[in-house]
A and B are shown apart, each in its own frame.
Chain A
């Protein structure tokens, strides 16, 4: 049903899939995500939609192979069908004409910020993009970002490409130079926290995109709960975008870290049969057989 039409290796361990999903491609707007289960019985993972083509009926997703499910998704070949895709989920981002806008993203967050950059630019904003990664080979979507931003700053931690340093350093400089009206940040929790701390003084509206653990992505499990403005909300139905100045980052970071760490140690204990190669043909055959 959801056929993979194209597959591309974007960077180290980062893959891009173009999937045929006509219903979703017509409705999806920047800032929304889909929930994917690659095979039956897998857990569902939320992945943001990078691009969509309503005429062809495709959506594109970019993801990093970190866990079991993303690993499995990465092994699916072209023309294979994905078991389940649900979407578009989440509240679409509010795109308005605001003036000078900074879009700052690090790591896999660059994939999430790309559709937002495009939309903001289309709405008549002057978009300044700041992207950062560990090294040159981890930096994704550089050409696309160059095309969709008016000005771009690139930072790598080891200095292998463009400027050496952190994305937040450049952000600080740009913030001091220019009058900025709006900031959009996606990436690691530390980065988003720092950006919000910097903009809080000058009261620039800052929107962050959070990426907590989700299970069903429809607000039915409560796994993605975050504290925003002292209230518990679900990132899947009320987010994933929130006002950065109101998010309780400490709480969010603690929860995310604890879950990830315990997942990691859990993953290591078990034999990862299907981590790289997908499930074996024999197992697949038998499980299909005996399920009936």
Chain B
């Protein structure tokens, strides 16, 4: 991100919150989001790690963005280049790219398929990690830079990329993210009461309106919930389900320390009452007469050296099957990139793992003037990577349009 951290901390020490906020905002357009859910690579690589504890930059960023935000957003005059850029998807990567382009004097337009901008931050990350109010404030601030956001517009179906070029856009940026669930193929996966993590979180996020939300859960959640997976999505699902007052068990086939979440979040989950069952793999979903979930047959896993060559791998323990009595199963074992756009534009090329193939240097896809960034290129990654990707691609688009 290249944020000037020493200067930021110096300003903070002097008590100049707004100035510190501006310092962050120069380089990072979504500080309050990063202050909450960033993976904080800076803290992992901090020089103070060897001595005691790293500088908690993430917490400082969150604090500054909550209290240092100026009430009035100052619009900086820009000389417009007069070229339009279309951005597909209003997720973190799209928003970061749009803000960067707007600063360079372009007039980007974001096309979003769902009814509100935010992408995964709105429909994936639950309310307790990033509140919708914070997100709205961030998006409003970005919008004030002169960005138009068109919702309910599915590029590829409502209009194709060729149509966008015809409408006068000089370049198109694809940031459709990685929101397609990876499917699990075990018997009984199609019975009622089995959800994928994305569906569960989307339903939870869609139905909450406001304080007086006309909140009627429109889907069935049993009293005992099993969540399968060890990533952030799985933990988010588990913690959301706990908030419905359910008995939640999180099962995953690795050990607890190998979970791909921050240890802090894991501890929060435990405190809230999520039961962790490490080293377990689901084998079969058992259904009752009405074809609803009745239980989940699992098998214990452990490290074993079956081949005897010194490589310890996770293998199932023989005869260790047991039945977990649950009535809802949520599967969150990973994502795939959202590359449905290829269907409407055959020129775009895909890699073997369904990500869009881009030129490494220019980040341009196989079609001229069409760029891609974010998780649709990297397949999976934290929000911060998407923001960095968006910023980078914005510079490339600038270079491309200037020739």
Contacts and interface: CB of A to CB of B under 8 A. Distances in A.
Contacts of A225: 183, 190
A221 B203 CA distance: 9
Contacts of B114: 84, 86, 216
Contacts of B340: 218-219, 237
Interface stretch (B54-62, B102-110, B215-223, B358-366): B215-223
Contacts of B123: 216
B89 to A, nearest CB: 11
B184 to A, nearest CB: 10
B183 A254 contact: no
Interface size class of A (residues with CB under 8 A): 35 or more
Contact of A41 (B152, B198, B214, B291): B214
A291 B157 CA distance: 32
Interface in A205-237: 215-216, 218-223, 225, 227, 232, 237
A176 interface: no
A83 B220 CA distance: 25
A227 B185 CA distance: 11
A261 B193 CA distance: 11
B183 A215 contact: no
Contact of B158 (A41, A87, A215, A251): A87
A118 B203 CA distance: 36
Interface stretch (B205-213, B229-237, B272-280, B310-318): B205-213
B206 A258 contact: no
Contacts of B390: none
Nearest to B210: A291
Interface string A18-45: 0000011001000000000100111110
A86 B113 contact: yes
Contact of B212 (A40, A88, A218, A283): A283
A66 B335 CA distance: 33
B199 A287 contact: no
Interface centre among A40, A68, A237, A270 (most CB of B within 10 A): A40
A218 B114 CA distance: 9
Contacts of A44: 206
A218 B158 contact: no
A251 B190 contact: yes
Contact of B218 (A43, A87, A216): A43
B259 interface: no
B139 interface: no
Given A270-B216, A279-B214, A290-B210, A220 B179 contact: yes
B315 to A, nearest CB: 26
B199 A215 contact: yes
B210 A216 contact: no
Given A89-B154, A218-B113, A263-B219, A255 B291 contact: yes
A84 B214 contact: no
Interface in A262-292: 262-263, 266, 270, 273-274, 279, 283, 286-287, 290-291
A221 B362 CA distance: 32
Contacts of B157: 27, 87-89
Contacts of B208: 41
Given A84-B152, A86-B113, A223-B196, A255 B191 contact: yes
Contacts of A291: 209-211
A223 B213 contact: no
B159 interface: yes
Interface centre among A23, A37, A84 (most CB of B within 10 A): A23
Q: Is the interface of A mostly helix, strand, loop or mixed?
A: mixed
A87 B217 contact: no
Contacts, number: 139
A200 interface: no
B50 interface: no
B191 A220 contact: no
A24 B153 CA distance: 9
Contact of A221 (B152, B196, B207, B215): B196
A65 B103 CA distance: 49
Nearest to A24: B158
B122 to A, nearest CB: 12
B202 A216 contact: yes
B192 interface: yes
Interface in A48-102: 68-69, 83-89
Contacts of A286: 212
B84 interface: no
B351 interface: no
Interface centre among B153, B208, B216 (most CB of A within 10 A): B216
Nearest to A255: B190
Interface in B79-106: none
B154 A218 contact: yes
A23 B153 contact: yes
B115 interface: yes
29 contacts: A23-B158, A23-B159, A27-B157, A27-B158, A40-B209, A43-B206, A68-B216, A84-B152, A85-B152, A86-B115, A86-B152, A87-B157, A88-B157, A216-B123, A221-B196, A222-B198, A225-B190, A232-B185, A258-B191, A258-B290, A258-B291, A258-B292, A262-B220, A263-B220, A266-B217, A266-B220, A283-B214, A287-B212, A291-B210
Instruction: List 9 A-B pairs, minimum CB-CB distance, nearest first.
Output: A258-B192, A291-B210, A41-B209, A221-B199, A222-B196, A84-B115, A258-B291, A262-B220, A287-B212
Given A43-B203, A259-B192, A290-B211, 13 more contacts: A23-B158, A24-B158, A41-B207, A41-B215, A83-B115, A215-B202, A223-B196, A254-B191, A254-B291, A258-B292, A287-B211, A287-B213, A291-B209
